[in-house]
Amino acid sequence: MSVSTPSLKDELDIVIPTIRNLDFLEMWRPFFQQYHLIIVQDGDPSKTIKVPDGFDYELYNRNDINKILGPKANCISFKDSACRCFGYMVSKKKYIFTIDDDCFVAKDPTGKEINALEQHIKNLLTPSTPFFFNTLYDPYRDGTDFVRGYPFSLREGVPTAVSHGLWLNIPDYDAPTQLVKPLERNTRFVDAVMTVPKGTLFPMCGMNLAFNRELIGPAMYFGLMGDGQPIGRYDDMWAGWCTKVICDHLGWGIKTGLPYIWHSKASNPFVNLKKEYKGIYWQEELIPFFQSVSLPKDCTTVQKCYIELSKQVKAKLGKVDEYFNKLADSMVTWIEAWDELNPSTGLPNGSVK
């Protein structure tokens, strides 16, 4: 066996949503070529997307999504990168890494190219510490440990469900921030990974993200966005808030920090504002909702948690806007579709092996 066989080669899928040819994969070739890709083509299904030679991939367009899911296909967004979550559903692997097609290979401060996938795998394969903050950040990284005063009873940590990576160059800003800081670029490389503490929400960005699909997959629904919907650019945020509440309930962790990618281009702030403005307004109701969500003890699987969450969305957010009633129904449809494509193996989804 080659020494350079990458970690989790047969246990991880790379999911990429796109509307264009995937030339960007050339620069990722040294890091991605030995993995299986799931490409979710958004927009016009008659358009042919070119993928560089030598990659092992399957590609799904809107026609495929409709064929596979039938009437349940209406839970998958159209003309929005939220369509990527279809790839999570059809994958058969334990882990998922998802990346946007405008994300290039970043370099660390020494000029070395960063293997983002390798760092995500390290994050996922080591425990998280959501119950007590370690001031030297991730204690499981080489060259660090738990600091004095850290309870020994908590040092085993808990399973890591999500690894949330960051971006150099174009920061992930909302439209108002983009408009007032059009030239701002992120040049700060912070060499740190940390666990998001229990009870703390965070804005999850889907463009450089990995997760344990076997553990948390059914909660990674990117909502109803884009074509025909009153909101966009909140797909990953919604998935992140739902996932965090469920991880807190089931006792799992989420890490953020390394790895960095190079985010190559800023999206149009005026287009973004049009997509986001209701979300910016609704967010003031959404955050208190997620901060106060309580899941009952009998919610012992991700699916049960998610269905319960959908009921609470309908009951409490339905009065904010009719859209949330529609979203709550789609959350249920998503779980039904997930379970159809991923029949139980006797283990409840979310059970730790």
Q: For the residues 331-351, what does the mean pLDDT come to?
A: 80
Q: For the residues 317-342, what does the mean pLDDT come to?
A: 98
Phi, psi of 237 (to 5 degrees): -60, -45
Q: For the residues 126-149, what does the mean pLDDT come to?
A: 98
Name the band, by pLDDT with cuts 50, 70 and 90, for residue 149.
Answer: very high
Q: What percent of the chain has pLDDT over 90?
A: 95
Per-residue pLDDT at 4: 53
Average per-residue pLDDT for the chain? 95
Name the band, by pLDDT with cuts 50, 70 and 90, for residue 153.
Answer: very high
Q: For the residues 26-44, what does the mean pLDDT come to?
A: 97
Per-residue pLDDT at 345: 52
Name the band, by pLDDT with cuts 50, 70 and 90, for residue 297.
Answer: very high
Q: For the residues 8-24, what does the mean pLDDT come to?
A: 97
Q: Tokens 């005026």 sit at which residue?
A: 270
Q: For the residues 30-36, what does the mean pLDDT come to?
A: 97
Max Cα-Cα span within the chain? 60
List pLDDT tens digits, range 197-244.
Answer: 999 999 999 999 999 999 999 999 999 999 999 999 999 999 999 999
Cα(149)–Cα(130) distance, rounded to whole angstroms? 16
Torsional class of 310: left (φ above 0), alpha (ψ -120 to 50), beta (otherwise): alpha
Residue 351 has pLDDT above 60, yes or no: no
Residue 262 has pLDDT above 70, yes or no: yes
Phi, psi of 257 (to 5 degrees): 130, -130
Residue 178 CB-half CA count within 13 A: 16
Residue 72 has pLDDT above 60, yes or no: yes
Per-residue pLDDT at 158: 98
Q: Can you state the angle between helices 302-312 and 235-250, rounded to 10 degrees?
A: 120
Which has the closest alpha carbon to 30: 151, 90, 119, 113? Answer: 113
End-to-end CA gap in the chain: 27
List pLDDT tens digits, range 82-92.
Answer: 999 999 999 99
Q: For the residues 33-57, what does the mean pLDDT come to?
A: 97
Residue 166 has pLDDT above 60, yes or no: yes
Name the band, by pLDDT with cuts 50, 70 and 90, for residue 344.
Answer: confident
Contact 330, 238 (CB under 8 A): no
Residue 9 CB-half CA count within 13 A: 10
Per-residue pLDDT at 6: 67
Per-residue pLDDT at 82: 98
Cα(33)–Cα(316) distance, rounded to whole angstroms? 46
Name the band, by pLDDT with cuts 50, 70 and 90, for residue 187.
Answer: very high
